[in-house]
């Protein structure tokens, strides 16, 4: 079954099932050791854990910005870990990604940045001549409005604040009409108030579009507040997987090591 037709099957396309995922950047030193988990429910799933524990690697393996060493990543019947070339591109279109440093093309306008989310869909000549389909443009404006940046459409991206840029980043990801959104530390470069707003927005996207939002996050309190499910990682393995309410101090001690930092 091709990635595209899998994605079009409603309710089925967004089932993400990871099995025995291993990633070694250097041979014999795995960063991810045999990760297995599945995500089928909509809403925020927060991945917490100390720096260097493989949270980013896990997220990046899913959309193959990093190539896994072994294991499978099934999304609606397609093994993402095995895709190459054109089918991989087609699969990536259905995976929106939000980055810590926003990763906007700074010298393009805000609206063009949002439309970059359609680059996987539109023919190359349309991108080159800046003739995006009318429907895409209308959606881009609607999305910008819904993230509260309608008035900024024609500004250059480098004129925005961090929080505004992250909103554009989210709009770009949603523009892909994704079955799943991956967010790699989306709040780590933002102040506490803006961080809350961004998490609020991600939760809203997950709710309204009825898709899972996989978020790497350092701030445990923020994660607890918005996540419907928490995954704790330590040294490349999953050590907690369950509702935020079930996450005990003992779990945190296991995830982050030691207890002094919690006081």
Partner 1 sequence: MSAPPIGADGSLRARAFPPNWPLRIGAALFVAYVIYAAGIVDIRWERFVQGLGNGARFLGRMFPPNLAHDKMQLLAQGMLESLQIAIIATGAGVLLALPVGLCAARNLMPLPVTVLARGLIALCRTFHPVIVAILFVKAVGFGALAGILALIVATIGFIAKLIAEAIEEMSMKPIEALRAAGSPFLSVVTMGVVPQVLPRFIGFAAYQLDSNLRNSALVGLVGGGGIGATLFTAFQRFDYDFVLTIIIAIILAVMAGEILSAFMRRVYQDEAPSGEVKAGANGPVWHRFTTAERSMRLAFWAVAALALGWSFQTIEVIPEFLYDAPAQTVDLFARMWPIDWAYFPKTVQQALIETLHTATLGTILAILLATPVALMCARNISSSAWVNTLGRFILVATRSVHTLVWALFFVAVFGPGALAGVLAVAVHSIGFTGKFLAEAIEEAKPGPIEALRAAGAPRRSVLLKGFWPQVKPAFLAVSLFRWDINVRESAVLGLVGAGGLGVALQAAMDNLYWDQVGLVLAVIFAVVVVTEIVTATLRAKVI
Q: Does 17 bind partner 1 (CB under 8 A)?
A: no
Q: Does 93 bind partner 1 (CB under 8 A)?
A: yes
Q: How far apart are CA 166 and CA 99, in angstroms?
A: 8
DSSP class per residue in 139-159: HHHHHHHHTT-GGGTTSBGGG
Buried b (16+ CB within 10 A) or exposed e, 214-228: bbbbebbebbeebbb
- Among residues 26, 107, 249, 261, which is the contact residue for partner 1, using CB under 8 A? 107
Q: Does 160 bind partner 1 (CB under 8 A)?
A: no
Q: How is residue 152 written in tokens?
A: 């900024």
Q: How far apart are CA 43 and CA 51, in angstroms?
A: 24
Q: How far apart are CA 75 and CA 170, in angstroms?
A: 21
Buried b (16+ CB within 10 A) or exposed e, 53-82: bbbbbbbbbbbbebebbebebbbbbbebbe
User: Helix or strand or coil: residue 66?
Assistant: coil
Name which of 160 and 230 has its Cβ closer to partner 1.
160
Name which of 127 and 252 has its Cβ closer to partner 1.
127
Q: Does 116 bind partner 1 (CB under 8 A)?
A: yes
Find the shortest distance in angstroms from Cβ 205 to partner 1: 7
- Region binding partner 1 by CB under 8 A among candidate stretches 50-58, 72-80, 89-97, 232-240: 89-97
- Among residues 92, 165, 167, 229, which is the contact residue for partner 1, using CB under 8 A? 92
Name which of 144 and 255 has its Cβ closer to partner 1.
144
Q: Does 141 bind partner 1 (CB under 8 A)?
A: yes
Q: Which residues bind partner 1 (CB under 8 A)?
A: 63, 65, 89-93, 95-97, 99, 101-109, 111-112, 116-117, 119-121, 124, 127-128, 130, 132, 137-139, 141-143, 145-146, 150-151, 153-154, 169, 172-174, 176, 205, 208-209
């Amino acid at each position: 079954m091709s990635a595209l037709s899998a994605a079009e099957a409603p309710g089925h396309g967004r089932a993400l099932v990871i099995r025995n995922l291993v990633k070694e950047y250097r041979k014999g030193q795995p960063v991810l050791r045999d990760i297995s988990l599945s995500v089928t429910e909509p809403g925020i799933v927060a991945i917490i854990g100390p720096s260097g524990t493989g949270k980013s690697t896990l997220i990046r393996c899913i959309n193959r910005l990093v190539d896994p060493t072994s294991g499978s990543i099934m999304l609606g019947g397609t093994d993402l870990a095995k895709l190459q070339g054109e089918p991989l591109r087609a699969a990536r279109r259905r995976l929106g990604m939000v980055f810590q440093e926003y990763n906007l093309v700074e010298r393009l306008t805000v609206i063009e940045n949002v439309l970059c989310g359609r680059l996987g869909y539109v023919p190359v000549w349309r991108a080159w001549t800046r003739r995006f389909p009318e429907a895409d443009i209308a959606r881009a404006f609607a999305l910008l409005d819904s993230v509260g940046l309608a008035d900024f459409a024609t500004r250059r991206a480098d004129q925005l604040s961090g929080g505004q840029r992250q909103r554009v980043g989210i709009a770009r990801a949603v523009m892909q009409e994704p079955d799943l959104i991956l967010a790699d530390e989306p709040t780590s470069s933002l102040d506490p108030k803006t961080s809350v707003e961004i998490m609020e927005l991600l939760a809203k996207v997950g709710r309204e579009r009825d898709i899972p939002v996989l978020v790497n996050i350092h701030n445990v309190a923020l994660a607890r507040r918005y996540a419907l499910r928490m995954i704790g990682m330590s040294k490349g393995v999953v050590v907690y997987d369950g509702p935020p309410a079930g996450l005990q101090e003992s779990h945190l001690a296991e995830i982050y090591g030691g207890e002094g930092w919690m006081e």
